[in-house]
Amino acid sequence: MEKPALPYFNPRIFWDVNATTMDVHAKAAFIIERVFNRGDVEDIRYCRRFYSEEKIKEVLLQAKDLDLRSMYLASAIVGEPIQSFRCYKLRQLNPELYPY
């Protein structure tokens, strides 16, 4: 399958930045993290078609802030245990109040 020339993501994901002028290669980490945190399944599929699997794996493993749902999804996609994610380690170092 051929990679698209430029990605198109839903404007609700990048509501606070000008997505039309953003350099998609220089800001790849920002884009991948934002899509996994705020995007839906179609956005994530499109992100995986645009960026290489190695780049996505590298960015997600080094991400500082992924919510729990995104962390488990990323773990399933990249094939790494959740304990190898940087955001999981940071979350363990800074425990929150018990949510009940």
The set of residues, in sequence order, having a beta carbon less than 8 Å from that of 65 and lying 6+ positions away, is 33, 37, 87
Residue 6 · residue 27 · CB < 8 Å: no
The whole-number average pLDDT for the span 1-11 is 65
**What is the model's pTM?**
0.83
pLDDT at position 6 over 70: no
Please write the tens of the pLDDT for every residue from 10-63: 888 888 888 778 888 899 999 999 999 999 899 999 999 999 999 999 999 999
Residues 6+ apart with CB under 8 A from 96: none
